[in-house]
Amino acid sequence: MTNTNPNAFPYVPQSAYVDIPTGLDIGDVWSSDFLNDIIGSGLIAATAQVAAVYTLTVTANSGDSFGVAIDGATYIATSTAANDTSAEALRLVLVGAAALTDVVASVTRAANVLTLTFANFADHTVAPYSPATADVAVAETSAAAARARLDFGFAVVRDSTVTLASSTAIREPSAINQEVVGILYRTVGSRGSLESILQRGDDPDFLASAQAYPLALQRLGVVVEYTGTAPQPGDDVFVTMVGAGAGRLWRRDSGAVSQVTIGTLVANDGDTVGLAIQGLPNITVSSTADATATATLLVNAINGNAQAAAIVVASSAAAVITLTFRDGTTRTVSAVSPATADITGIDNTTLAVAATAKQLPNASWGAVSSSDVTPTRAFLRVDVRGN
């Protein structure tokens, strides 16, 4: 019997556009079309984990303060006249530091050389503190190696240290130019048990190793954690690739801060004057007798130069010229002044900060973001093509 009810299948459209349900967690799917979603999988490899090891070689000078800075915190001892006893003084400072209890596994000494072994598999910074003659020579003898620390809602890249015949090994990003190969998303039972995580020696705050997980590649909607201004539909999609939050934090810009440089034009009729901007040929004009007019001429010359316009926008107010660069690259700027006309007081009013996030040009924000919960959540429509 043929169904002719206009309110029933197959007459009713099988796609529905409804409000996003509340209570979704980061990594959950908020939008799906099983006929058109493109998904894949990636494996977190159970690679060997290695703790970082450093040697600290002490050179004494009686009465001097010396020591090391570990992850930005400085630990200071007082030198004796002998290298060995000075090294022991520093060892006692390190083993007695409460802040290092869960960070450093051991500090041993052989003569004037301390061996510092960390308790985890993370990277650490160790630098000498030597305001006087007593000194510490720091050398890393074993680099840290950790398994990927990933969770749902993370962007992932290929783990180049692992070769698999039938799957892609994945890990968190560590460089701005790496290719994002997918977004981890949650399915029923995909996390694995806490017991399995602990048995493998993994961090219980992250996904277990030696296991494959689903990756969103195109169209699937995944809830992600954002930082900065809440993304809205139509905003660009960027994901953090370096530093804190790599792979985890999403945003609507690259995180870069543009350098802003100013200088004041001093005119002298008929002189050549201009600017030398790092990475560009010198751009000059012939000065008039008026500083404001000459500043305008130079601004127009910079903005009219295709090579310069690709990296900087020039403007002027009276005789003051302002250069606003287009990215987070630090560039030197100096005056070109073969005669009397000059540009003085060149200074950076805003320092450049390099980008920490890269754009996924085909991804989009599919709904107004939520800022009333912590961590903050946004609704990403995944597309990793072209990044």
Asked whether residue 40 falls in the same domain as residue 156, the answer is yes
Asked whether residue 120 falls in the same domain as residue 269, the answer is no
| Pairing label, strands 38-44, 104-110 | unpaired
Q: What is the pLDDT of residues 196-211, one digit of tens each?
A: 777 777 778 889 888 8
Asked whether residue 230 falls in the same domain as residue 95, the answer is no
Write the DSSP string, 298-339.
HHHHHHT-HHHHTTEEEEEETTEEEEEESSS----EEEE-SS
Using CA atoms, how far apart are residues 152 and 365, in angstroms rounded to an integer? 18
Structure token digits, residue 366? 């599919």
Asked whether residue 276 falls in the same domain as residue 235, the answer is no
Total structural domains in the chain? 3
- Check residue 27 and report its DSSP letter: T
Asked whether residue 155 falls in the same domain as residue 134, the answer is no
Q: What is the pLDDT of residues 121-159, one digit of tens each?
A: 888 999 999 999 999 999 999 999 888 889 999 999 999
Q: Is cis: bond before 6, omega within 30 of 0?
A: no
Using CA atoms, how far apart are residues 320 and 357, in angstroms rounded to an integer? 33
Asked whether residue 59 falls in the same domain as residue 131, the answer is yes
Asked whether residue 111 falls in the same domain as residue 131, the answer is yes
Q: Residue 23 domain-assigned?
A: no
Q: Residue 366 domain-assigned?
A: no
Q: Residue 20 domain-assigned?
A: no
Check residue 367 and give its pLDDT: 80
Structure token digits, residue 252? 């609507």
Asked whether residue 229 falls in the same domain as residue 267, the answer is no
Check residue 193 and give its pLDDT: 67
Q: Distance of alpha carbon 44 from its chain centroid, rounded?
A: 21
Q: Residue 251 domain-assigned?
A: no
Asked whether residue 42 falls in the same domain as residue 156, the answer is yes
Q: Which residues of the chain have pLDDT under 70?
A: 1-22, 166, 189-194, 370
Which domain, by its residues, includes 185?
29-47+148-243
Asked whether residue 129 falls in the same domain as residue 183, the answer is no
Asked whether residue 82 falls in the same domain as residue 118, the answer is yes
Cβ neighbours of residue 14 under 8 Å, at least 6 residues apart? Answer: none
How many Cβ atoms are within 10 Å of 171's Cβ, its own excluded? 25
